[in-house]
Amino acid sequence: MVWGWYISGAAHALLIIALVFGGVFSRPPEEPVTISDVEIISEAEFAALALRTPAPEAVEEPSAPPPPAPEEAAPDTPAPDTPLPEISESAAPEAETPEAAPEVTIPDPTPEAEVEDTPPVVASPDPAPEGPLFEAPPQRAPRVAPTPAPAPPETADIAPDAAPEIAAAPDAPPEDIAEDTPETAPEEAAPELATEADEPTETLALATSPRPRPRPARPAPEPEPETRETAAAPAEPDRPEPAAPATDDAVAEALAEATAPSGDPGPPLTGAERDNLRIAVRDCWNVGSLSTAAKETVVTVFVSLDRDGRPDTGSIRMVGFREGTEATARQAFEAARRAIIRCGNNGFPLPVEKYEQWREIEMTFNLDGVSF
Amino acid sequence: MRLLALILAFLAAFPALAQTREGPLRIEINRGVIEPLPFAIAPFVAENAGAGQWAEQITRVVAADLSGTGLFREIDRGAFISSVSDFNAPVRYADWKAINAEALVTGAVRVDGNRVTVKFRLYDVFADAPLGDGLQFAGDTSGWRRMAHKVADEVYSRITGEGGYFDSRVVYVSEAGPKDARLKRLAIMDYDGANNQFLTDASAIVLAPRISPTGDRVLYTSYETGFPQIFELNVGSSARRPLGVQGDTMTFAPRYGPDGRTVVYSLTDGGNTDIYRLDTATGARQRLTSAPSIETAPSFSPDGSQIVFESDRSGSQQLYIMPATGGEARRISFGQGRYGTPVWSPRGDLIAFTKQNQGRFHIGVMRTDGSDERLLTASFLDEGPTWSPNGRVIMFTRETAGEGGQPALFSVDISGRNLRRVPVAGAASDPAWSPLLP
């Protein structure tokens, strides 16, 4: 034991001596660092320098590509002919010499003053309610009927519907959540193929979401005397089992209450009901007169309907478009608008008890498979 | 942990909340119907005593133009509930909706001496609103048809979103006599067959006229010297001159470039046919191909950067594209049969062609890379397509079989619908559609 102390002391002494006098950890001599001067120039000076500096690409610009092979064969052809004199009119046909082809005087294509660009007052007995509820996109401006129209009735409908929902769900967080809940959840989940059986499971997800509940089946570890194990292991075996489910259930119930509509808007539209609506619209969606570019443009159109399923013509507006230009989108939108108005004139075949589901609709008009 | 469970529960609930926040119901419409758009054209109002005759004629031409496209269907006047007796009177949209008119055209005509004034308005009936502003055209009474075509062009353009093609002309070869002794002469007419006039006599066979981008000159091939040779004819003065003459060589299949000054054509020398390019102002000529095969029927792209042509360099007649100054050609047709007479669309997106396969002739279109080939017609003999100014319609020659077979002009929409015969008196072939007149 004593020898060990001796050896250790000697080794430490040697180490200290080596550190102090051996220069083991001494830093190597530093090399002189060259510091370039930094000159501050103004933005204008920098711009001037940049302009004066020629772009390297311009210097390296390759010469023009070699002329194509046929050009090399050009010498084989005879020298260019001088413009030949025109054959005299005597060689022309004798009697059929036409009059000057554009014998028609060119009409003035510009509109003249006597045509009023402002449209006449609409004499329709049912003036279309224009859309104070929805802002018209800029491209729709010329289409809007010139005469101001009364506010659409939907403005008044929305407010009363929303108010009771808020009142019936006092614990609900924000009011708009409760208001919109029943309308869109099924749509987001599966807008095309969702069935009635699939959609309710999503709304019930809140009630079944608490995760700790299955855990009780797991065998509880035996209590061990070592405190190290308890420190390494999670504390969940020590957690009282009934507490977590009870909390989660309460949270889930509160959220479910918050999201539950108070006005009972009814179940979402079934697939068959949506298909009925699709068929009704597409039967009037006449794309025959559209340009090929307009046919390839996908437009999304918003429309609000009354309880009879009739569209509020003033609410129809283009929400967006893709795969086209403003001009083609406008043409496509006009065709879509005609389809909605024409076939909705007598009301779309929609269940009135689910009015909250289809009060507002966004229809995307997308022609698949159009070649040209 | 309770707090954690609470947060987790809320987060688990949040996606569902987010899903339910979106407002409107969303559906997608993936199919429509293709049918002519029903429109009503109220008889144009005669604004003075002498305008009655013109008003009715102009109304009928406008209606015929629109109906002839196959995209519109005129509603019979007998179904009208409202009448338009005043051009500026309010439109009773409900009356036009009741007869399912999706568009309404109203107009008025005034004649003062030899000057006629036509004005019109277009209404989107189901939108309860005018579709664009009112327009007015004025001109000589002899040009009343052109004014009617202008009105129809404007209506067509506002509804379809693409340019019209009614105020245009067609140069073609008028034919007469038996098949073995056919007399051919150049003629020009309105796109609808009206105002037909001859440009040449029948003393020599003429072929394949091509009209210049400005519509005032015509290239064609004539046999008046005994072998095919290219001539350029001034439509206004009937003056003409040969182009590209090179000894005893044969020149044919000419076509203008988009600048109206450059001409590409075929020249046969020593049994080999190649494509040449000619500057008609300077006479400078450039040989664009030099293969031992037959290269012919060149056609410029609208921007003048490329040329599509036919060649049998691969062993069968196919379509190729090369730079407008010559160079390596790229084959674009790979289907069965033989392809010929390619013509680039004015819109630049398609190439029309003649195809012969299994004893049948077709007019077809394909994209410029050769994809999406679509045959529009099929008959005993269809050939020589030419594009309408808006690239929507193709006119071509169709010849019937047999001893008494006669060529005639037909037109077809690029969708393959609305195949119809162009009303031309007598036999006709080789149409060349002009640009839209100014």
Residues in chain A, how many? 372
Confidence at residue A269, expressed as pLDDT on a 0 to 100 scale: 86
Alpha helices by DSSP H, listed for A27-174, are: 43-52, 56-60, 69-72, 154-168
Residue type, A205: A
Interchain CB distance below 8 Å, A183 and B282: no
Q: CA B420, B426, B427, B429 torsion: positive or negative? A: negative
Under the banding of pLDDT at 50, 70 and 90, the label for residue A169 is: very low
B14, B17, B25, best to mutate vs chain A, most A CBs in 10 Å:
B25
Which range, A177-181, A230-234, A319-323, B72-76, has the best average confidence (pLDDT)?
B72-76
Nearest to A241 by CA among A219, A271, A260: A219
Confidence at residue B153, expressed as pLDDT on a 0 to 100 scale: 97
Q: Does A242 touch chain B (CB under 8 A)?
A: no
A69 versus B275: which is more confidently predicted? Answer: B275
Main-chain phi, psi angles of A38, to 5 degrees: -110, 125
| Residue pair B109/B122 in contact by the 8 Å Cβ criterion | no
- Token readout for A337 is 């608008």
**Weakest-pLDDT range from A43-52, A147-156, A312-321, A326-335:** A147-156
Q: Does A187 touch chain B (CB under 8 A)?
A: yes
Q: Which residues of A touch B387 (CB under 8 A)?
A: none
Q: Which residues of chain B have pLDDT under 70?
A: 1-22
Interatomic CA distance for residues B345 and B324, integer angstroms: 16
User: Has the ipTM of the complex gone over 0.90?
Assistant: no
Using only C-alpha atoms, chain A has a radius of gyration, in whole angstroms, of 41
Residue type, A358: W
Interatomic CA distance for residues B216 and B218, integer angstroms: 7
Which range, A4-13, A31-40, A222-231, has the best average confidence (pLDDT)?
A4-13
A313: distance to nearest CA of chain B, Å?
8
Q: Which residues of B touch A290 (CB under 8 A)?
A: 160-161
Read off the pLDDT of each residue in A266-295 and give the average, rounded to a whole number. Answer: 87
Instruction: Nearest by CB to B20, from A127, A181, A361: name it.
Output: A181
- Token readout for B126 is 């189901």
A54: distance to nearest CA of chain B, Å?
31
Nearest to B405 by CA among B226, B147, B233, B179: B179
| Residue pair A80/B284 in contact by the 8 Å Cβ criterion | yes
Interchain CB distance below 8 Å, A247 and B6: yes
Conformation bin of residue B136: beta by default, left when phi > 0, alpha when psi is -120 to 50: beta
Q: CA A259, A260, A262, A265 torsion: positive or negative? A: positive
Interchain CB distance below 8 Å, A247 and B5: yes
A132: distance to nearest CA of chain B, Å?
17
Read off the pLDDT of each residue in A133-148 and give the average, rounded to a whole number. Answer: 37
Under the banding of pLDDT at 50, 70 and 90, the label for residue A40 is: low
Q: Which residues of B touch A239 (CB under 8 A)?
A: 1
Nearest to B160 by CA among A107, A297, A282: A297
Beta bridge partners, A16, equal none
Q: Does A222 touch chain B (CB under 8 A)?
A: no
Interatomic CA distance for residues A95 and B210, integer angstroms: 23
Interatomic CA distance for residues A291 and B379, integer angstroms: 27
Q: Does B263 touch chain A (CB under 8 A)?
A: no
Confidence at residue A320, expressed as pLDDT on a 0 to 100 scale: 93
Interatomic CA distance for residues B75 and B104, integer angstroms: 10
* Residue A245 confidence (pLDDT) above 80: no
Chain B, residues 319-338, CB within 8 A of chain A, namely: 323, 325-328
- Token readout for A258 is 């918050």
Q: Which residues of B touch A103 (CB under 8 A)?
A: 142-143, 195
| Residue pair B157/B130 in contact by the 8 Å Cβ criterion | no
B423: distance to nearest CA of chain A, Å?
19
A195 versus B297: which is more confidently predicted? Answer: B297
Q: Does A148 touch chain B (CB under 8 A)?
A: no
Confidence at residue A79, expressed as pLDDT on a 0 to 100 scale: 35
Chain A, residues 17-36, CB within 8 A of chain B, namely: none
For A330, the enclosing helix (H) or strand (E) is helix A326-343
Confidence at residue B181, expressed as pLDDT on a 0 to 100 scale: 82
Chain B, residues 343-372, CB within 8 A of chain A, namely: 350, 365, 372
Chain A, residues 317-356, CB within 8 A of chain B, namely: 327-328, 330-331, 334-339, 341-342, 345
Q: Which residues of A touch B104 (CB under 8 A)?
A: none
* Residue A170 confidence (pLDDT) above 50: no
- If you search the block for the tokens 């047709």, which residue do you land on? B333
B7: distance to nearest CA of chain A, Å?
9
Nearest to A184 by CA among A259, A109, A238, A289: A259
Q: Calculate the alpha carbon distances from A253 to A174, A241, A264, B10 in Å.
A: 16, 19, 18, 11
Interchain CB distance below 8 Å, A259 and B161: no
Confidence at residue B155, expressed as pLDDT on a 0 to 100 scale: 96
Interchain CB distance below 8 Å, A119 and B13: no
Interchain CB distance below 8 Å, A360 and B23: yes
* Residue A178 confidence (pLDDT) above 50: no
| Residue pair A314/A131 in contact by the 8 Å Cβ criterion | yes
Cα A171 from chain centroid? 33
Q: Does B7 touch chain A (CB under 8 A)?
A: no
Q: Which residues of A touch B130 (CB under 8 A)?
A: 119
Interatomic CA distance for residues A273 and A195, integer angstroms: 11
Q: Which residues of B touch A345 (CB under 8 A)?
A: 97
